Amino acid sequence: MKKKVLLSLVTIALLGISGCENSKNNASESSVSESSVSNSREKQRITKTSNSNVEEERTDEEVDMEDAQKLLKENTKAEKLTMLFEKGDVVTNGDNAVNFTINGYQYIKIENFSRDFSVSFGDQNREGGVLLVSATYKNNSDKSVYTGPGFSMNVVGYGSAIGRDEDLLENDLVGELLEKNNEIKPNEEISGFVALGVKPAAMQKITESGTAEFELPGFYSKPDSFSKADTIAEPKKERITLSDEGDKNNTESSKFYEDKLTKDNMGTKTMIHEKNLGKSETFENATVTAEGYQITSFEPNEDQASRFSKFESGVVLITVKLNIKNDGESPLNVDSTSATLKIGNTVKMMSENMLQIKSGEDNVGKGSEATKCLVFVLDKDEYEKLYKDQDLLLDVNLYDTDFKRITTIGNIQFELS
């Protein structure tokens, strides 16, 4: 069987993700045996054509993680493969019509591999990491769509993006798409594998953080056009876990509002106080709802410490979650939404835009809505001694698409305490 068929299936492919089912993520440091790497199992594969007529094609082998591991070992001539972590949780971008899915992934250490790969792994061939990703593109619509770039990840403390290495797997999923000019035809599904090469320096940072930010590709209506007008689904970044500790921390962090500090894993939050509000205020044709707020202590990661160095006693964050709905004719730029926070009768502070993210489009038109989390940063000692028991008053600023403020002081206010 040709390796190209082995690694990329066009239309509906049944992927046996060896060891990934039920999110079995307790495989840390377990060795990938020679037999599991070398022997592919006898199975059947079912594929469908891209039109409504169903055809069945039967072959002797089904593409699975073991086949991908086998090819990885053959291509790199690695003496040993060791499983560091695996996960089968589904991560998706898109909707029911057009979507991209990570079916599962394995983080593997390779040792004593071919010198041909030494440059890719930091000018040495003793050890390196490989993220082996099983993924599927699906187009349930009646028109061709085109996919954009993806399959790269960033790790906290490591300065460079970690990308796909086409030499690790011959004719991988990305290679298959490139041959098709990144086109996914109507009612077509394409599945396969992609491998990312991880240098030892990046592996060390993964050991420290246990997570990475993975870029999921988007979809477009025209080939080679990534303009907003041609966008069907924007590319997005999702945090994935690469160790048991990272998996635990990721579960912990899910209880916090998704500001930039949480999403980019900039440090550790500890909850001090949380309150659901559900209060709404209307300005002209916009309704702003303060869903709640969280007060947390924050300890930045080593690489983020200098950013918070002026807070000598520590950092306290006040994060407010807003929902903004627009029923007017003129769109609002939700990404520019800001606020001032009045503490007691004397202190006023602005929200920190560089620590905030929004969920949804930048510009929200009639009938649409988006979420924005506002962040305020305080010195820990000052919070404990001066602000802890003070009243908090939030004054929200809305902006139009020309970045012009359309509200004045007092138009949209919420008492938080």
CATH (domain of 228): 2.60.40.4170
Q: Identify the CATH number of the domain in which residue 312 sits.
A: 2.60.40
Q: What is the mean pLDDT of residues 263-271?
A: 85
Number of domains making up the chain: 2
Strand 363-364 relative to strand 332-333, pairing: antiparallel
96 and 130 part of one domain: yes
Q: Are 358 and 370 in contact (CB under 8 A)?
A: yes
Looking at 219, 248, 277, the residue that finishes a domain is 248
pLDDT for 63 equals: 52
298 and 235 part of one domain: no
pLDDT for 305 equals: 85
383 and 289 part of one domain: yes
DSSP run (H or E) holding 173:
helix 173-179
244 and 322 part of one domain: no
Looking at 228, 248, 268, the residue that finishes a domain is 248
Looking at 248, 280, 298, the residue that finishes a domain is 248
Distance CA 252, CA 244 (A): 13
Distance CA 82, CA 85 (A): 9
pLDDT for 358 equals: 65
pLDDT for 216 equals: 94
pLDDT for 362 equals: 64
235 and 164 part of one domain: yes
Q: Are 297 and 246 in contact (CB under 8 A)?
A: no
Residue 178 phi/psi, 5° resolution?
A: -60, -40
Provide the residue range defining the domain that includes 350: 257-415
Q: What is the mean pLDDT of residues 74-103?
A: 92
298 and 404 part of one domain: yes
Q: Are 215 and 194 in contact (CB under 8 A)?
A: no
pLDDT for 316 equals: 94
Average pLDDT, the chain: 82
66 and 145 part of one domain: yes
223 and 271 part of one domain: no
244 and 266 part of one domain: no
Per the model's pLDDT, the better-predicted residue between 341 and 264 turns out to be 341
Return the bridge partners of 368, or none: 326
pLDDT for 346 equals: 79
Chain Cα centroid distance, residue 152 = 10
101 and 241 part of one domain: yes
For the stretch 89-137, pLDDT in tens is 788 998 889 999 999 999 999 999 999 999 999 999 999 999 999 999 9
- Classify the phi-psi angles of 284: left when phi > 0, otherwise alpha if psi is within -120 to 50, otherwise beta: left
Is the pLDDT at 12 greater than 80? The verdict is no
70 and 206 part of one domain: yes
For the stretch 390-416, pLDDT in tens is 899 999 999 888 888 989 888 999 998
pLDDT for 77 equals: 96
pLDDT for 361 equals: 61
pLDDT for 379 equals: 93
For the stretch 350-376, pLDDT in tens is 998 888 876 656 677 777 888 889 999
183 and 142 part of one domain: yes
For the stretch 159-197, pLDDT in tens is 899 999 999 998 899 999 999 999 999 999 999 999 999
Distance CA 402, CA 331 (A): 10
pLDDT for 208 equals: 86
